[in-house]
Amino acid sequence: MFCAISGEAPTEPVVSKKSGLVYEKRLIESYIAEHGKDPVTGEELSVDDLIVVKVSPRTAFPRPPSHTSVPSLLTALQNEYDAVMLEMLTLKQQYDDVRQELAHALYTNDASMRVIARLMKERDEARESLASVHTTLGAAASGPSDVDMASAEDVPQESVPLATAASIDALAGSLSSERRARIKRGAPEGYTTAADAKSLAVASSIDSPHSTNAPEITAVAVAGSLVVTGGVDKHVVVYDLANNSVVATLDGHTQPVSTVAVSGVGNPVAGESPVEVKYIVSGSEDQTVRVWRAEGGTYEFAHAIELAAPVVGVAVHPTDEIVGVATRDGTWALYMLATGERLLQVTAPADAQVHGGFSYASLAFHPDGQLVATGTADGVVRVWDVKHGKQSAAFAGHGGAVHSLDFSQNGYLLAAAARGAAEVKIWDLRKLDVSRTVSASENVQSVRFDPTAQLLAVAGADTRVFTGKTFAHAVTVETDGPAAGAVWSAADGALVVAARALQVLRA
């Protein structure tokens, strides 16, 4: 008998009831006290599982084999070789296991690094693209014949208050990253996608909520289920599509309403309803801007802004604290939405006609709030720095009054529609050049990107929708007469078209 631990004949042999192996008593008890298991089989083992082996008669220890003879030397070498081979086998098995674990860990690490590298590359590209927009627009550079960079002396330079400038900068920093993430995620389930756009059709039609004597709608804005329209009848009407009812009729203008805007929709999120509409703003031919404040389910008149010329464009800044106003005499200005306090006013320079004219026809804010665009009656689009009132770029060649402008939510593109033109120009703000030109019906009245930046609605004699990065034509929908405007609903991707009636297009 030999001890399974020492390999020598035991002086006090014991045998395990579980494995049947023989051990030296002191060695196995010491091992059990430390590990609590069989050293060979790994089974749970206690001292009670050991049986003392009684040997009779007791014999003397055998003499160790002598290596003086060749047979004994060969036996020793054979035993040592066997032990080495067994140890090598064990080590090889352990080596293979470790190698497989290491390979798996390396593959996992490599895949993780590739994902991280791709995400960092996309992040850097997005940052560079956004930075190039501001860098390009802020630099005075010559471009193609239809792009004119105006000098800083073209307009009087003023600045908004420091607190307002800080608010604009803080918002721009947070919005740019959030907006890119939203666009990258794409449209949520249930929202109209580029593939769905081909099946857009009139799902419902509501008679004009304006006076029967003057039912024509001149302007439209959408916030969730609320549709705000301005009309020839001098009224602003708030209509709830969910309940099919007029919520409020706001009066006070003495001339037709030319433009309307609402708060809470400056940063639309596809698939989500906008924040609560706190303010409704309207501009009119009567040279005033009127602001209404939400009060317990109704809208109460807050204040009016008196101007020197008919109002052609109003837009609520993404901060929801500022309203931008453009007038026909070549002036655009910023006002506090709550109080009507003027923050900035930029007037046309003395040599306005030399630079393509400054008689405005439209106004729109960039999604991050640091830029504002104005369209002129002479077919020029001017892009301005909001904080300092400094012109950054001018895009010419539209062939008519640019009365509709809209920035895409990715911040790179600006769509412009001119009166009488059968096309819409889409400008790339990074290159200061035309990115695409899409065909439209005569007398285009409105252009509008959806929150995913994948859909573009062009409304005029009919309503056309273009999709994707190439703005391929998806569908043309005949509406109830020429449309005054078309606006996407961020909640579900429905398109609200204001013509002789309010028509809702769904896929």
Using pLDDT thresholds of 50, 70 and 90, give the confidence band for residue 224: confident
Mean per-residue pLDDT of the chain: 85
Neighbours of 452 (CB within 10 A): 26
Provide the token pair at 364.
């729109």
pLDDT higher than threshold 60 for residue 459: yes
Respond yes or no on whether the N-terminal peptide bond of residue 161 is cis (omega within 30° of 0).
Answer: no
Q: Which of 90-104, 130-144, 231-245, 439-453 has the highest mean pLDDT?
A: 231-245
Q: Which of 107-116, 152-161, 457-466 has the highest mean pLDDT?
A: 457-466
Using pLDDT thresholds of 50, 70 and 90, give the confidence band for residue 448: very high
Question: Is the fold of 1-62 the same as that of 149-349+424-506?
Answer: no
Using pLDDT thresholds of 50, 70 and 90, give the confidence band for residue 149: very low
Pick from 284, 276, 289: which is nearest to 335 by CA?
289
Q: Looking at residue 176, what DSSP letter applies?
A: H
**Residues 269-290: tens digit of each pLDDT:** 777 776 678 999 999 999 999 9
If you average pLDDT over residues 422-437, what whole number do you get? 91
Fold of 149-349+424-506: Methylamine Dehydrogenase; Chain H (2.130.10)
Taking the C-alpha atoms of residue 237 and residue 207, their distance in angstroms, rounded to an integer, is: 13
CA distances from 350 to 156, 333, 353, 357 (A): 10, 18, 8, 11
Residue scoring higher pLDDT (361 or 145): 361
**What residue ranges do the domains of the chain occupy?**
1-62, 67-138, 149-349+424-506
pLDDT higher than threshold 50 for residue 253: yes
Question: What is the DSSP track for 241-275?
Answer: TTTTEEEEEE---SS-EEEEEETT-SS--TTSPPP
If you average pLDDT over residues 454-482, what whole number do you get? 91
Taking the C-alpha atoms of residue 305 and residue 262, their distance in angstroms, rounded to an integer, is: 16
Q: What share of the chain has pLDDT > 90, as a percent? A: 45
Please enumerate in sequence order all residues whose Cβ is within 8 A of that of 492, keeping only pairs 6 or more positions apart, or say none.
190, 191, 192, 271, 506
β-partners of residue 417 are 404, 424
pLDDT higher than threshold 80 for residue 473: yes
Taking the C-alpha atoms of residue 150 and residue 356, their distance in angstroms, rounded to an integer, is: 10
Using pLDDT thresholds of 50, 70 and 90, give the confidence band for residue 157: very low
Residue scoring higher pLDDT (365 or 27): 365
Taking the C-alpha atoms of residue 105 and residue 257, their distance in angstroms, rounded to an integer, is: 67
Residue scoring higher pLDDT (144 or 505): 505
pLDDT higher than threshold 60 for residue 421: yes
Give me the CATH code for the 1-62 domain, please.
3.30.40.10
